[in-house]
C-alpha cells in the first residue's frame, strides 16, 4: 500500500487520528520515515530487541495455524528495515529476553 500511494500514508493517518489524544500506543513501527515522523511529532519511541529463538517461539504460539507463513516473511523489508537504525534514534531500548530490562523500563515511565 505504501508504495502504491505514498510512503507516509500509514504514519500520516496515525498522526491525524491521534491528534489531541493524551496517550496512545503504537505497537509496530516498520520504516525509518515512520520513526522520523513520530519523533518529530513528540512520540516516545521504544525499540524492542528479541532473540531469534524467542521471536520464533512467540510466532508459533501466536499463530499456531499460520506460523510458517510468518516465519517465511521474517526477513521481509518491513520486518528488518529498522535493524540498521542507530539505537540512539529511540528513547528507550528493551531486551525482551531479559525481564529485568522490561522492569527497568516500566520504572522509568512513572505511570
Q: Which residue has the cell 528507550?
A: 92
Q: What is the mean pLDDT of residues 80-98?
A: 88
| pLDDT at 85 > cutoff 60 | yes
Would 17 be classed as within a structural domain? yes
Would 2 be classed as within a structural domain? no
Domain that holds residue 42: 9-109
**Burial class of residue 29, CB neighbours in 10 A (0-12, 13-18, 19+):** buried
Q: What is the mean pLDDT of the chain?
A: 89
Would 4 be classed as within a structural domain? no
Would 37 be classed as within a structural domain? yes
**Burial class of residue 11, CB neighbours in 10 A (0-12, 13-18, 19+):** buried
Number of domains in the chain: 1
Backbone angles phi, psi at 92, to 5 degrees: -145, 155
Would 54 be classed as within a structural domain? yes
Would 50 be classed as within a structural domain? yes
pLDDT band at 101 (very low <50, low <70, confident <90, very high): confident
| pLDDT at 26 > cutoff 80 | yes
Cα–Cα distance, 84 to 88 (Å, whole number): 11
Would 1 be classed as within a structural domain? no
Which segment of 5-14, 26-35, 45-54, 102-111 scores lowest on mean pLDDT?
A: 102-111
pLDDT of residue 63: 96
Amino acid at each position: 500500500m505504501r508504495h502504491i500511494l505514498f510512503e507516509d500514508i500509514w504514519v500520516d493517518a496515525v498522526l491525524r487520528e491521534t491528534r489531541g489524544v493524551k496517550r496512545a500506543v503504537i505497537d509496530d513501527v516498520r520504516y525509518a520515515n515512520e520513526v522520523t515522523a513520530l519523533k518529530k511529532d513528540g512520540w516516545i519511541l521504544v525499540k524492542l530487541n528479541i532473540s531469534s529463538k524467542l521471536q520464533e517461539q512467540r510466532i508459533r504460539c501466536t499463530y499456531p495455524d499460520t506460523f510458517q507463513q510468518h516465519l517465511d516473511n521474517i526477513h521481509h523489508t518491513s520486518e528488518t528495515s529498522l535493524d540498521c537504525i542507530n539505537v540512539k534514534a529511540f528513547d528507550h531500548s528493551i531486551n525482551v529476553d531479559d525481564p529485568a530490562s522490561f522492569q527497568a523500563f516500566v520504572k522509568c515511565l512513572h505511570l
